[in-house]
Amino acid sequence: MRDFIEFISLSNPTVKIVLIGVVLISLSSSLVGNFAFLRKRAMLGDAISHSVFPGVCLSFIVSGEKDPLMILIYSIVTGLIAMFLIDVIGRHKKVKVETAIGIVLSIFFGLGIMLISYIQGNLGDAQSGLQHFFFGQAAAMSREDVQVFLYCSIIIAGTIILFYKGLKQVSFDREHAIATGQPVVLLEIVLSILTVMAIAIGINAVGVILMAALLITPASTARLWTNRLFPMMVIAAILSVVSAIGGAFISYKYSGMPTGPWVVVLLSIMAFGSILFSPKRGALSRVIARKRLERKILKENILKTLFKLQEADKEQTSGFSLQEINCLKAFDGRALERGLKWLQQEKSTQIKNNKWTLTASGNQIGKRITRVHRLWELYLTNKVKLDIDHVHPSAESLEHIITPEIERMLQEELNFPDKDPHNKLIP
Amino acid sequence: MAAVWIIAVSCLIGICCAWIGSILVIRRMAMLSDAVSHSVLPGIVAAYLLIEEMDYGIFIIAAAVTAFISTMLIEGVSKLANYRKDVSMGIIYTLLFSIGIILLSAHQDSVPIQSDHIIQGNLEMIPLEELWIINDVYSLGPYPIWSSLLNLVVVVITFALAYRGIKLISFDHSYASVKGVKTSRWNLIFMALTSLTVVISFSEIGAILVIGFIVIPPATALIFSKKLSHVLLYSSLISCASCIGGYFLARHFDSSVAGSICVVMGILFFIVFCFDNLRAKFAQKNGVRIEHKE
Amino acid sequence: MASKSNPHNNSALQVHSLSVFYGDKPALWEIDFELKQGKKIGILGPNGSGKSTLMKTIMGLIKPASGYVKILGEPLSNVRSKIAYVPQKESVDWDFPITVKEVVQMGRYKPNKLFGRLSKLDKELATKALEQLKISDLADRHIAQLSGGQQQRVFLARAICQEADIYFMDEPFTGVDAATEETIIGIIDELAAEGKTIIMVHHDLNSAQEYFDHIVMLNTRLICCGSTAEVYNQENIKSAFGSQLTILSEIGNKINELNYPVREAGESDS
Disruptive mutation site among A209, A250, A270 for chain B (greatest number of B CBs within 10 Å)? A209
* Chain C interface mutation, best of A92, A384, A385, A411, highest count of C Cβ atoms under 10 Å: A384
DSSP characters over chain C: -HHHH-TT--EEEEEEEEEE--TTSPPEEEEEEEEETT-EEEEE--TTSSHHHHHHHHTTSS--SEEEEEETTB-GGGSGGGEEEE--GGGS-TTSS-BHHHHHHGGG--TT--SS---HHHHHHHHHHHHHTT-GGGTTSBGGGS-HHHHHHHHHHHHHTT--SEEEEE-TTTT--HHHHHHHHHHHHHHHHTT-EEEEEE--HHHHHHH-SEEEEEESEEEEEEEHHHH-SHHHHHHHHSPPPHHHHHHHHHHHHHT--SS-TT----
- pLDDT over threshold 80, residue B290: no
Q: Give the C-alpha separation, A318 to A343, whole Å.
A: 18
> What ipTM does the predicted assembly reach?
0.89
Taking the CA of residue A320 as centre, how many other CA atoms within 13 Å lie in the half-sphere pointing to its CB?
25
Whether residues B171 and C141 touch (CB distance < 8 A) is answered with no
Would you state the pLDDT for residue C201?
Answer: 95
Measure Cα distances from B216 to A84, A407, B239 in Å: 18, 59, 9
- Give the total number of structural domains in chain C: 1
pLDDT cut 90: percent of chain C above it: 59
pLDDT digits (tens, 9 = 90+) for C105-144: 999 988 777 676 788 999 999 999 999 999 999 999 999 9
Q: Which long-range contacts (CB under 8 A, 24 or more apart) does B77-82 make?
A: B77/A275, B80/A275, B80/A276, B80/A283, B81/A220, B81/A224, B81/A274, B81/A275, B81/A281, B81/A283, B82/A281
Q: Do C98 and B181 touch (CB under 8 A)?
A: no
The verdict on residue C52 lying in a domain is yes
Q: Under CATH, what is the fold of the domain B2-211?
A: ABC transporter involved in vitamin B12 uptake, BtuC (1.10.3470)
Domain assignment present for C42: yes
Per-residue DSSP letter, B221: H
C2 touches chain A (CB under 8 A): no
A60 has pLDDT over 80 = yes
Mutating which of C239, C247, C259, C269 best tests the A interface, going by the most A Cβ atoms within 10 A?
A: C247
Q: Is the pLDDT of residue C269 over 50?
A: no
User: Do B171 and C96 count as a contact with CB atoms less than 8 A apart?
Assistant: yes
**Which of the residue ranges A422-426, B138-142, B173-177 has the most confident prediction, judged by mean pLDDT?**
B173-177
Q: Across the interface, do A393 and C251 touch by the CB < 8 Å criterion? A: no
| Chain B CA closest to residue C56 | B174
| Domain-wise residue ranges, chain B | 2-211
- Among chain A residues, the shortest Cα distance to B247 is held by A114
pLDDT tens-digit series, residues A84-105: 999 999 988 889 888 999 999 9
Whether residue C266 lies inside any domain: the answer is no
Chains that touch A (3 or more CB pairs under 8 A): B, C
Closest among C94, B37, B266 to A106, alpha carbons compared: B266
B233 touches chain A (CB under 8 A): no
Q: What is the pLDDT of residue B97?
A: 92
- Name the helix (H) or strand (E) containing A355: strand A355-358
* Mutation for testing the C interface, residue in B27, B166, B175, B292 having most C CBs under 10 Å: B175
- The C-alpha atoms of residue C193 and residue C38 are separated, in whole angstroms, by 8
Q: Measured between alpha carbons, how far is A162 from A191 in angstroms, rounded to an integer?
A: 12
CATH of the domain at C174: 3.40.50.300
Supply the range of the domain harboring residue C23. Answer: 2-258
Give the residue from chain C lying closest to A410, CA to CA: C247
Average pLDDT over residues A160-178: 88
Neighbours of B61 (CB within 10 A): 13
> Could you name the CATH architecture of A287-413?
Orthogonal Bundle (1.10)
Gap from B284 CA to chain C (nearest CA, Å): 14
- The topology under which CATH files domain A2-281 is ABC transporter involved in vitamin B12 uptake, BtuC (1.10.3470)
Q: Is the pLDDT of residue A317 over 70?
A: no
For the segment A127-149, what is each residue's pLDDT rounded down to a tens digit? 557 778 888 888 788 888 899 99
| CB–CB contact A113 B258 (8 Å) | yes
Contact status, residue C160 vs residue C133, Cβ threshold 8 Å: yes
In terms of residues, how long is chain B?
Answer: 294
Any idea where the domains of chain A sit in the sequence?
Answer: 2-281, 287-413
- In this complex, do C102 and B177 lie within 8 Å of one another by their Cβ atoms? no
Residue C85 is nearest to which of B175, B226, B290, comparing CB atoms? B175
Q: Coil, strand, or helix at residue A370?
A: helix
Q: Do residues B238 and B42 touch, judged by C-beta distance below 8 A?
A: no
What distance in Å separates residue A339's CA from the closest CA in chain C?
A: 16
Query: Which residue blocks in A95-228 are alpha helix, DSSP H?
Result: 97-119, 132-135, 143-162, 164-172, 174-179, 184-223
Q: How far does A123 lie from chain C, in Å, by closest CA?
A: 47
CB-nearest to C92 from B171, B182, B225 is B171
In this complex, how many residue pairs, one in chain A and one in chain B, have their CB atoms less than 8 Å apart? 204
Q: What is the pLDDT of residues B255-285, one digit of tens each?
A: 889 999 999 999 999 999 999 999 888 887 7
Cβ–Cβ gap B212/A102 under 8 Å: yes
